[in-house]
Chains A and B, each alone.
Chain A
């Protein structure tokens, strides 16, 4: 606590040049606020005022649920019967209670109730989870001013607009607040907005000067004020309002607004007034309604259902017309039906009426064409598939203890059809942890550890070289060997390091400069300066960890933290910051004793994304004034003095290497200043600092520029933005599987590009297309409208130029990367430009969008989804990814991090990005094939069965009589054919999971939709039609009129129906056995068990009293089983039904084998074990030709090496005639 107060007294604004110490308030007048959109008035500290009429602002209670207790039933029912098929089944259920029904009412209503009930229960459960999540947020506690300066705890939902709220360190803001004061006396506070935009560096918010005095509880006793501001809107970065206090009006801007869901950091407490509460807050306004998602297959299934519906309608019409005709013209002659004594249904006098009523009957009778059980089965199968995903131990993360989770089960098969992955960066690809890895000092590279990318690339390269060796000449083999050895050392060094307990943020290793050894290096003074820059040139605050006695640092960005940790490890421990100085304890000095040194800070020119550099001017203990600068290499190199370029060439080389290895680099430089030179400049600077007016910043920048020149280069640092475990490998595999990966991040462009390198989305030699809008130039001179026009034209031109460039490129290996920032994206996403933008983006191998808002993430996702018509998957971890996750066809959330918003909005959650590979390539692939085959089979099955009913109809004068017993019909879908098809949907594997992972190219069968295209669906339907014809007519002819057994009896309807049904059961189950390629005992049990069940049922049913079993009484035992013709008919029909399919698959495998066929064969003959070389060669060939991922990078490298080799060869050839002579 004591430390907190000391820090609080620090006027941090003194350290800053740009953002703070701005001449206060009076510089610009209040905004003129009037008109629509600016109607909100908030009476501060008088929340009760807002309960009355003109205000009535929304409370801070939030609800993201779809239903509540009252609306659940009607709304959920409506959702359910929104499905055409369900509506149809509802219709049949209603008909079934009337005498028109050919079946009993229970057999129609029960399955419908089951399906609808199951789906509704699922909905209810999901909504309940959402509700619990909301409640957790709503019941969080926060301190709110009650009265007389007393603050008390209130739940978030009770916070009202106008309340004065006190938020403490590391708490979330309960609503959008106006910052009044903070624990710092100049009223600044640090805010982490990760949940809003994914950015992890802290943002500085600053209170108005007039409210600074309100920094303790008592001060709010009589505090009043009025805020007039804009209405609730989703824009996170704008705010317009006025604050009336003490009869003065002050202008408010976004820097005083603390947004809900962001977090207070590095600040003990703040006071604020709630302006927007609950759903009015900006983050909630950003939330998009969570849409209910359906998979591509399911949507296509609807079309098939329509086709079947038309078929159903057609045959129903045919039979009702047939019935009407028969009734009108023939029935009067059928005296045995007593046509004169009929009700309306069979009345020959009213053929139209009987025809219409028969239509209803027929629609129910042929309902077997529309498989209601399909929905039940699919639901069951998907739940089981989802549980397999949940149970997959290889997607379980030991560190966080989270398994993968399928949160909705209806998108499983969609996982197998993904085309584009849109990924968040921070927390998804990276851990947001910087590791100091390498440095280059005075032209010497230090640091032997390699980055994860390098490591992974090295491994890959080793594998590749092995293959290449076989093909290459012996000469180059040596080279390969050499490289391998090199790589091996890299690998082993990494392994050793893992055994030590690593220091967070520091993975550096080099004995030359560690533990004070740098003193013995040739350029020791330069090295010392290098470390000093690391220890001094920053804005962090040290914090003593009392347990270990070492210091930790609270830095604005993780890079800075890494530098400080590095400096500490090198022996330059920054331990104290005062108003004017930085204290550094140097452990390894020339004297050999630790020395505490103080550096007086004279000026600090801090980092902005525009300047891309940071400078401090310090006076050391000898009185020497030093300018220390760190910044982007290009910026620093431009500002070097003539004699400061000693190490430029070497450093540049190292920088390139680091860049290629995916590291973030900064160059370090210094300059010695003369006292007079400095004071002259300082005067200028102070003048600029206190100047008033719009050009103040420009002025300051210019002054800063004057000083930051003639620098002397010292070296460069390389920091690894630590990727999540396995990310490069995963990206590589996904790229090999043919997936496109886009990165959407709220981060800065440079950071994003660095990460692009780190995960091999970008590489050296890739042509980067940066599209930016330089709006700043135009802003001043032109009016707003014209500016927009000009900027848009400019962007459009950039896009068309880039597209042109890609078209004209004729190198097949050329790869392009598109990098675009949020501002530009805002224009590019407008209707008139988005097609061009999309066209360009699709042509590029990788796309990186930086500085994008959550809304823009969602918009980009929608653009890709709708523009390309392909399946998109969005993955992210933060609240800022929610929009994108909801918008994409599949949303994946990273679980195990703080906020659960992304996971709550997602369809699947995994603990780490790397699990995406298994989720897609294994589970997605399997689920897609399973569902596709299952649905196809379902249609086959129901067509084969349903049509036999229709044919029989034609033989009964279209009277609506079914040849099968009611019980057979009921059991058909429920018992006799359901389990095998479920086992197909749950357990089928074309190839094992290892093979899926080894051959990512197999995944392409999904996006290309090889298993659910119309060709295949129609094929299956045709097969169904064929089977129905075979089953029906063969049986009819076999049992035509003669005796069916030696006893002389002829077959009646029951005998014929039962035989036909036996044939169906056999044919369908044999068909599914042919379809499967993976039989565990479960499949065997289900398939052969289904057939056995049928006989068992028939036996038991025959034993029941004849009043129940009717004509089926003892049918198996007495009539059919002793009759050889029954068995021979079964055998004949079963074989005849499956013959064409069998021939088809034999033919296909023989002449057009698909990839998984070949791989199955290789596995079957264990060729992969015998001929491992072939196996690994195929594995490397099986990659999709990609331009991203480190495989592509390695390829590029190999091409480059080959090119060099060739050149060398040719040059050797040129030289060789010379050498002998």
Chain B
């Protein structure tokens, strides 16, 4: 379309001695585009449009809200906060020294199932006040190193956790270094409840981002030990805890998938949890929670989406209603010229 517009503006005025043949060339070419006469739809907000638009929104939104709310209500969640309870009495005033000491960190918790939980039941750990989104933290990783064995010494972005004993660390960086290392063991009626730790990470991460030929090397070998150690014989693509951990959370409060329990839990069943409370959240007063949750098609338990949909839908319904009332009570005939400024206010201007 724009090729129709000759660039007559360029030379135009400079050459005043326009000869006769040039005259015609200065004549703008007619096209609907250049004359700004392209066919256009000019929708205007007539009352019918307004009311039906608002109504449409409410008609769409309220069912969505209801469905979401139901979906969210279907999800059963058991949350157990354990970071305080799992500190022995004698350390209760100095939890940091407890976590840094070599004391046995085993801790037993019991969870009661309130409602039927259909499998799969997802096990999460939830940390709080943990800035996984801190700029220094987020940047401290090397994607190329994780992906490919050949670039194992590409650690420039991983400072300060790049080298240890003058050898590159695989996987390098603060994120990997601070890998979460609490472990959970579940038993139901003294019977071990299997936790499936396969397929808890994103498939593409396993397949493409974490190399099958990349093995942990020189990891947690420095003077400062951060979090969990990794089995050097297992390739990174199978270290799913690491893969999950490396997807940094957006907010300082976050849950991460620990594993799946692949059997239904009946109401009033009591689950025994034996956990190793290794991870230091005490320095920064972070909470630790163990979460067992089912999911719906919409994900986990979150009533907010449904409520928000209902609110917006309700609001639109209200607006539709009030505009209807207004048009019924005090209709303004559309295109009524008496509303033109010169008619409304003859003394004006």
Contacts and interface: CB of A to CB of B under 8 A. Distances in A.
Interface of A: 102, 129, 132-133, 330, 333-338, 341-342, 346, 386-388, 390-394, 396, 401-403, 405-407, 738, 895, 900, 903-904, 909, 952, 955-957, 959-961, 963, 987, 989, 993, 1001, 1004, 1034, 1036-1057, 1077-1083, 1106-1107, 1110-1111, 1113-1114, 1118-1119, 1123-1125, 1128-1129, 1131-1132, 1135-1136, 1139, 1142-1143, 1145-1146, 1149-1151, 1153-1155, 1157-1165, 1167, 1174, 1177-1178, 1181-1182, 1184-1185
Contacts of B300: 1041-1044, 1048, 1050
A285 B240 CA distance: 83
B298 interface: yes
B342 A1001 contact: yes
Contacts of A1056: 250-251
A1164 B44 CA distance: 8
22 contacts: A102-B135, A334-B131, A334-B283, A390-B9, A390-B12, A392-B34, A393-B27, A393-B28, A393-B35, A403-B27, A904-B13, A961-B133, A989-B36, A993-B36, A1036-B250, A1048-B295, A1049-B200, A1049-B201, A1050-B257, A1053-B133, A1083-B40, A1119-B202
Interface stretch (B103-111, B228-236, B268-276, B333-341): B333-341
Given A403-B26, A957-B252, 5 more contacts: A401-B22, A1048-B257, A1157-B44, A1178-B337, A1181-B342
Contact of B28 (A390, A1042, A1054): A390
Contact of A1042 (B30, B299, B343): B299
B53 to A, nearest CB: 8
Given A338-B224, A1124-B297, A909 B251 contact: no
A1080 B40 contact: yes
A401 B340 contact: no
B288 interface: no
Interface residues of B, number: 116
A330 B24 CA distance: 76
Nearest to B179: A336
Given A336-B137, A336-B178, A957-B134, A1042 B302 contact: yes
Interface in B238-290: 244, 247-257, 260, 280, 283-285
Nearest to A1184: B349
A1081 B38 contact: yes
Contacts of B336: 1158
Contacts of A738: 349
B204 interface: yes
A881 to B, nearest CB: 16
B208 A1113 contact: yes
B78 interface: no
Interface string B153-179: 000000011000000000000100110
B56 to A, nearest CB: 10
Given A330-B284, A959-B135, A1040-B302, A336 B47 contact: no
B305 A1128 contact: yes
Interface stretch (B87-95, B185-193, B309-317): B309-317
B312 A1135 contact: yes
Give 6 nearest A-B pairs by CB, closest first.
A1042-B300, A401-B23, A1161-B335, A336-B178, A341-B160, A1052-B247
Contacts of A1163: 42
Contacts of A956: 131, 133-135, 252
A1110 B143 contact: yes
B274 to A, nearest CB: 22
Contacts of B64: 1128, 1131
A895 B40 contact: no
B299 A1034 contact: no
B296 A1041 contact: no
Given A957-B134, A1040-B251, A1146-B323, A390 B312 contact: no
Contacts of A1113: 204-205, 208-209
Contacts, number: 324
B335 A1167 contact: yes
B13 A1129 contact: no
B277 to A, nearest CB: 16
What secondary structure prevails in chain A residues at the interface with B? Answer: helix
B304 interface: yes
Interface string B2-44: 0001001100111010100011101111100011101111111
A851 B46 CA distance: 57
A1043 B122 contact: yes
Contact of A959 (B136, B202, B312): B136
B36 A1111 contact: no
Given A993-B36, A1044-B300, A336 B12 contact: no
Contacts of A1177: 337
Most chain A C-beta atoms within 10 Å of own C-beta, residue among B244, B293, B301, B312: B312
B61 interface: yes
B126 interface: yes
A1132 B284 contact: no
A1079 B44 CA distance: 11
B42 A1111 contact: no
Contacts of B334: 1161, 1164-1165
B126 to A, nearest CB: 6
B312 A1132 contact: yes
A406 B161 CA distance: 62
A987 B68 CA distance: 41
A1146 B343 contact: no
Contact of A1041 (B30, B45, B254, B315): B254
Contact of B8 (A390, A909, A1077, A1079): A390
A1049 B38 CA distance: 50
A394 B301 CA distance: 65
Contact of A1155 (B50, B251, B340): B340
Contact of A1139 (B14, B250, B312): B312
B308 interface: yes
Given A403-B8, A1155-B341, A1164-B335, A1125 B137 contact: no
A212 B208 CA distance: 101
A1039 B316 CA distance: 24
B200 A1048 contact: yes
B5 A391 contact: yes
Contacts of A1157: 44
A1150 B9 contact: no
Contacts of A1081: 38
B195 to A, nearest CB: 13
Contact of A1052 (B38, B248, B308): B248
B35 A391 contact: yes
Contacts of A961: 133-135, 138
Given A338-B224, A1080-B39, A1178-B337, A1132 B309 contact: yes
A1145 B53 CA distance: 13
Contacts of B45: 1145-1146, 1149
Contacts of A338: 160-161, 174, 224
Most chain A C-beta atoms within 10 Å of own C-beta, residue among B13, B208, B226, B349: B13
B136 A1118 contact: no
B65 to A, nearest CB: 9
B57 interface: yes
Nearest to A986: B36
Nearest to A1041: B255
A1107 B36 contact: no
Contacts of B12: 390, 403, 405
Nearest to B305: A1038
B226 A336 contact: yes
Contacts of A330: 284
